[in-house]
């Protein structure tokens, strides 16, 4: 009797472990895909100072129709709206960070694509009807609202390659060139001696 209880307990425990392991694997699927490899999809080293790199990033976004939500010497954030279908809306948000790296700047960029769907909720209004009291009648108007239905980080390497290519065009022309040393001082000629006698 005792042995059968122990065996049923062992079966129940092993079943629970198997189920939790399966659930854990599904839950950690996104984490397992995140490899932190050494690729440079989201970052590049560019010539020049970090503030110049962030200003170049700001101009890059402006040149493509992005609205700038934030901009300073270390960070830039911009967004752009799209409407691929009548009831679907998308927003692309780019966040750029600039950090000094010796005589150069390290630029990090991440793009997030948010998707919204138009949700219609019909409204009704109460109408007073004498002895019956008030009656709710649906009207044709709708309170439409956009609801976020998906959000994902853009991982397309070609998208980021084009961004950094455009950013290079807005860096200062002299970025990365060593500062020109001042010309050597030319000694002033000594005043000519005059003979007073």
- Alpha-carbon distance of 184 to 177, in angstroms, equals 20
3-state secondary structure 36-84: CCCCCCCEEEEECCHHHHHHHHHHHHHHCCCEEEEECCCEEEEEEEEEE
- What's the pLDDT at 89? 92
Q: Encode pLDDT of 101-144 as tens digits.
A: 999 999 999 999 999 988 876 655 555 555 555 555 555 555 67
Q: Encode pLDDT of 67-110 as tens digits.
A: 999 999 999 999 999 998 888 899 999 999 999 999 999 999 99
Give the model's confidence band at 17: pLDDT under 50 very low, under 70 low, under 90 confident, else very high: very low
- Alpha-carbon distance of 34 to 158, in angstroms, equals 19
User: Would the pLDDT of 6 be above 50?
Assistant: no
Calculate the CA 154 to chain-centre distance. Answer: 8
- 16: Cβ contacts below 8 Å, ≥ 6 apart: none
* pTM (global) more than 0.75: no
Question: What share of the chain has pLDDT > 70, as a percent?
Answer: 59
- Alpha-carbon distance of 78 to 83, in angstroms, equals 17
For the chain, state the CA radius of gyration. 33
Q: What average pLDDT does this structure show over 47-70?
A: 97
Classify burial at 109, counting beta carbons within 10 Å of its beta carbon; exposed 0-12, middle 13-18, buried 19 or more. buried
- Alpha-carbon distance of 51 to 54, in angstroms, equals 5
- Alpha-carbon distance of 127 to 133, in angstroms, equals 8
- What's the pLDDT at 152? 94
């Amino acid at each position: 009797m005792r042995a059968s209880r122990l065996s049923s307990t062992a079966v129940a425990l092993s079943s629970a472990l198997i189920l939790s392991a399966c659930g854990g694997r599904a839950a950690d699927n996104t984490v397992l895909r995140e490899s932190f490899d050494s690729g440079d999809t989201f970052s590049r080293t560019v010539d020049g100072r970090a503030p110049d790199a962030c200003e170049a990033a700001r101009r890059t976004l402006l040149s493509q129709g992005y609205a700038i939500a934030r901009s300073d010497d270390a960070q830039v954030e911009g967004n752009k709206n799209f409407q691929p279908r009548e009831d679907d809306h998308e927003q692309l948000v780019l966040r750029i960070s600039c950090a000094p790296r010796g005589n150069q700047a390290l630029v990090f960029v991440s793009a997030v694509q948010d998707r919204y769907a138009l949700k219609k909720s019909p409204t009704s209004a109460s109408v007073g009807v004498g002895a019956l009291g008030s009656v709710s009648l649906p009207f044709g108007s709708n309170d439409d609202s956009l609801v976020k239905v998906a959000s994902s980080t853009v991982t397309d390497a070609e998208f980021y390659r084009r961004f950094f290519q455009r950013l290079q065009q807005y860096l200062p022309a002299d970025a990365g060139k060593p500062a020109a040393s001042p010309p050597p001082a030319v000694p002033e000629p000594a005043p000519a001696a005059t003979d007073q006698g």
